[in-house]
Amino acid sequence: MSDLREKYISLIAEAADEAALEALRVQAVGKKGEVSLQMRSLGKMTPEERQVAGPALNALKDEINSALAAKKAALADAALDARLQTEWLDVTLPARPSRQGSIHPVSQVTEEVTAIFAELGFSVAEGPQIDSDWYNFDALNIPGHHPARAEMDTFYMARDEGDNRPPHVLRTHTSPVQIRTMEKQGAPIRIIAPGRVYRADYDQTHTPMFHQVEGLAIDKDISMANLKWTLEEFLRAFFEVDAVELRFRASHFPFTEPSAEVDIRCSWEGGTLKVGEGDDWLEILGSGMVHPKVLQAGGIDPDLWQGFAFGIGIDRIAMLKYGIPDLRAFFDSDLRWLRHYGFNALSQPNLHGGLS
């Protein structure tokens, strides 16, 4: 047994690479290795012989495994040292030309939207991405039987058995930020709420996580006319055209009354979208006057105050403005895509210097 120990400890110490080390492991302690075969022979020994040979063989096996592990770690360290030697870089040398970082289109468009609404007097409000179903649904006048509350559409957070606290969800829109802002600030209000939202959907135009910006304006004399003007000014500036024409279609959202889907006049020539001209109409966003129950949930008296709200998909308008065909590509982490669609890292969108 001492001969086996000296043999393998010596061979392990001399192993030049991990392949040789693995061959020694199989030869020594593999299923058909020398040590393993000797351990199988314990059954043929007398009880007295087993009491002596058994512990000795186990100790030998442990010692060989420890030697193999130590040698493997030493080989890895040596490989790392060799790699670091070949990758050595003198940081005092002048910088070499390299590819400049790019701003993701979602980040760029979020900045563009923020710059435009800042000029219109809107501030930015933020809130948690995980919120209670009261803020995400109840406070927004979304009833318990509404399809949006089904688990096939909404991501609910797991709860321990017997946990009676209100369920929490990954927010399905940024509307909970509106409620939180009403509670905290009261009226009047003029905010936008950009951020990530989550819904259980995935195809060319839908992803489980996407980006949205919602707007809210509350005062004593706000009407649908103010909503229309605000959206016209935003879309004119965002698409960088002299004029836009909007079409409001009656719709239904639980949190607004009346509600309207908004279309924008456009044309498609050779697959290129042109806004403000042509004979086609493109649905661009949803909007309406804030429902009185939503105002009450936010602690605002609907007999004294009223307002409008709207919601826009940031990824969607980025696709329209910059000709990006597939929403899923936004989240593929493909640097080639980002180099094609990305923006200069020093680009700061503003209405005076340009947005894109």
Q: Please tell me whether the peptide bond between 188 and the residue prior to it is cis, using omega within 30 degrees of 0.
A: yes
Name the residue among 29, 37, 33, 32 with its Cα closest to residue 61. 29
Domain 105-344: give its CATH architecture. 2-Layer Sandwich (3.30)
Cβ atoms of 162 and 173 closer than 8 Å: no
Q: What is the pLDDT of residue 97?
A: 67
Q: What does each of the 356 residues of the chain score in pLDDT, given as a tens digit?
A: 667 777 778 888 888 888 888 888 888 888 778 878 777 777 777 887 777 777 877 887 888 888 888 888 888 888 888 887 887 777 787 876 666 678 899 999 999 999 999 999 999 999 999 999 899 999 998 987 888 777 778 898 888 887 777 889 999 999 999 999 999 999 999 999 999 999 887 666 677 888 999 999 999 999 999 999 999 999 999 999 888 999 999 999 999 999 999 999 988 877 778 888 888 899 999 999 999 999 999 999 999 999 999 999 999 999 989 888 888 888 888 888 888 888 887 777 877 667 77
Cβ-proximal residues to 356 (8 Å cutoff; 6+ apart), any chain = 108, 112, 240, 321, 322, 343, 349
Q: What is the pLDDT of residue 99?
A: 63
And the tokens for 32? 């058909």
Residue with tokens 């649905």: 283
Model pTM score:
0.68
Cβ atoms of 285 and 230 closer than 8 Å: no
Q: For residue range 10-20, list pLDDT tens digits in order.
A: 888 888 888 88
In the chain, what is the greatest distance between 2 CA atoms, to the nearest angstrom?
101
Compute CA distances 319 → 205, 228, 273, 323, whole Å: 10, 23, 10, 5
Q: What is the pLDDT of residue 3?
A: 75
Q: What is the pLDDT of residue 162?
A: 76
Name the residue among 106, 110, 127 with its Cα closest to residue 171. 127
State the distance between the two ends of the chain, measured CA to CA, in whole angstroms.
77
Burial 66-98 (b: 16+ CB within 10 A, else e): ebbeebbeebeeeeeeeeeeeeeeeeeeeeeee
